[in-house]
């Protein structure tokens, strides 16, 4: 039995962190669903930047859409929604079979809205309505300005993937924003079943301290942070406030491990999948890591509900001079800026392709 199926049997969902029109047109995504137990998919501006830049699959749509008055951001969301609604339809049997627990895809609001609460709320509602799929998350970053947008989107019934979370504090703040939105729906007599996941970025922790800590601590910070966050997740699932919401019909916001491709070439290419195996969680992985895990991956021990030795390991990083809290803030800020940079590059690619294709005969 493939390691991907074993992970699924353990109770962890394996999602693909990629989307391209070629994946859809070639039937590759369907094969991942059928053969590698992939039950969902995530996207971000960097993924779409690479997809559109390196493929001709979007050329016809890019050439035709300006004639309909769509350019720039509007054109991008047309392209992205086309891909993601097709993907959502492929995952719809999983969504139906699991009663909406699994089988989701994700579309991010413009990264330029990372610090714009009102803009994020408006964009989330518009994109969700345009998608018209029950299994499509709108991604909103868990920044200070994003948190009230997450609460409002959930209250409005928009499923949300909270992105750019790095620390336990980031996760707890996002989980509480989700819960506030759900509690407001309950108080207003609305259906509290609004899907959400909280996406915690893992490998960027290790990349940030590479070469700056003792060798014995290499590639252990992301996993230790995950242990701390997993403990908070388990505690939150069982606290009275959450249970009151579940008793009213709400569902838990699931924890998602993101950025799980190994960045250190000296480390195992399946490091973060093996270390982060835990039931009722999600691991969204790059395509290369998915293939590696299916080929030679192993599942490690299930993550300890109490975090295991995470606090001891984190203390060792502090002793080595790593300021955990300030690094978390920096990683979140850098992540937002990185997605904004990819977004600007994506807009430039679309503009360039659009101009070039208009000059060519159809």
**How many whole angstroms separate alpha carbon 143 and alpha carbon 117?**
10
* Tokens representing residue 25 in the block: 């047109």
CB atoms within 10 A of CB 316: 18
**How many whole angstroms separate alpha carbon 125 and alpha carbon 119?**
10
Query: What domains are defined for the chain?
Result: 3-356 (3.20.20.70)
CB atoms within 10 A of CB 212: 11
Percent of the chain with pLDDT over 70: 97
pLDDT higher than 80, residue 217: yes
Tens digits of residue pLDDT in 252-272: 999 999 999 999 999 999 999
Tens digits of residue pLDDT in 146-202: 999 999 999 999 999 999 999 999 999 999 999 999 999 999 999 999 999 999 999
The set of long-range contacts for 128-134, using a CB threshold of 8 Å and a minimum separation of 24, is 128/158, 128/159, 130/77, 130/81, 131/81, 131/84, 131/85, 131/88, 131/107, 132/85, 133/85, 133/88, 133/89, 133/92, 133/105, 134/95, 134/100, 134/159
pLDDT-derived band at 248 (thresholds 50, 70, 90) equals very high
The set of long-range contacts for 323-331, using a CB threshold of 8 Å and a minimum separation of 24, is 324/167, 325/167, 325/169, 327/205, 327/208, 327/209, 328/166, 328/167, 328/169, 328/170, 330/208, 331/166, 331/201, 331/204, 331/205, 331/208
CB atoms within 10 A of CB 116: 17
Residue tagged 């070469």 (tokens): 211
Distance of CA 13 to the CA centre of its chain: 13
Helix crossing, 117-131 with 72-97: angle to 10°? 60
**How many whole angstroms separate alpha carbon 362 and alpha carbon 357?**
8
**How many whole angstroms separate alpha carbon 110 and alpha carbon 132?**
19
pLDDT-derived band at 241 (thresholds 50, 70, 90) equals very high
Active site residue 139: yes
Residue 239 makes CB contacts below 8 A (sequence gap 6+) with: none
pLDDT at 84: 98
Strand 12-16, strand 160-165: pairing: unpaired
Residue tagged 């819960």 (tokens): 179
pLDDT at 144: 95
Per the prediction, the chain carries an average pLDDT of 95
The residue from 139, 144, 337, 341 that is catalytic is: 139
pLDDT higher than 80, residue 358: no
Q: Are 74 and 104 in contact (CB under 8 A)?
A: no
**How many whole angstroms separate alpha carbon 303 and alpha carbon 307?**
7
pLDDT at 55: 86
User: pTM for the whole thing?
Assistant: 0.95
């Amino acid at each position: 039995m493939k390691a991907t199926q074993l992970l699924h049997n353990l109770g962890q969902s394996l999602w693909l962190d990629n989307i391209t029109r070629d994946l859809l047109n070639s039937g590759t995504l369907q094969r991942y669903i059928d053969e590698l137990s992939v039950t969902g998919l995530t996207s971000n501006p960097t993924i779409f930047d690479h997809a559109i830049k390196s493929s001709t699959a979007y050329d016809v749509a890019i050439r035709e859409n300006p004639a309909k008055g769509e350019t720039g951001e509007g054109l991008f969301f047309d392209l992205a929604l086309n891909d993601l609604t097709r993907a959502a339809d492929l995952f719809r049997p999983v969504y139906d079979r699991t009663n909406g627990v699994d089988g989701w895809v994700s579309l991010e609001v413009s990264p330029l809205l990372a610090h714009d609460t009102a803009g994020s709320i408006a964009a989330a509602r518009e994109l969700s309505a345009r998608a018209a799929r029950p299994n499509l998350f709108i991604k909103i970053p868990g920044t200070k300005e994003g948190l009230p947008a997450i609460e409002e989107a959930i209250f409005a019934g928009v499923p949300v993937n909270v992105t750019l979370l790095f620390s336990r504090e980031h996760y707890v703040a996002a989980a509480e924003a989700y819960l506030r939105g759900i509690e407001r729906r309950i108080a207003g007599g609305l259906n509290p079943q609004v899907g959400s996941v909280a996406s915690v970025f893992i490998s960027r922790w290790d990349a940030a301290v590479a070469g700056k800590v003792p060798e014995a601590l290499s590639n252990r910070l992301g996993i230790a942070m995950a242990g701390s966050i997993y403990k908070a997740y388990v505690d939150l699932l069982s606290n009275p406030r959450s249970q009151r919401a579940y008793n009213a019909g709400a569902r838990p916001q699931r924890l998602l491990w993101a950025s799980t491709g190994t960045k250190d070439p000296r480390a195992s290419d399946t490091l973060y999948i093996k270390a982060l195996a835990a039931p009722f969680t999600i691991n969204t992985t790059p395509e290369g890591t998915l293939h590696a895990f299916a080929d030679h991956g192993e599942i490690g021990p299930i993550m300890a509900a109490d975090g295991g030795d995470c606090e001891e390991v984190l203390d060792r990083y502090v002793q080595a001079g790593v300021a955990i809290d300030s690094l978390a803030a920096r990683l979140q800020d850098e992540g937002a800026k990185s997605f904004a940079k990819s977004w600007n590059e994506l807009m430039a690619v679309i503009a360039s392709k659009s101009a070039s294709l208009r000059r060519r005969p159809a």
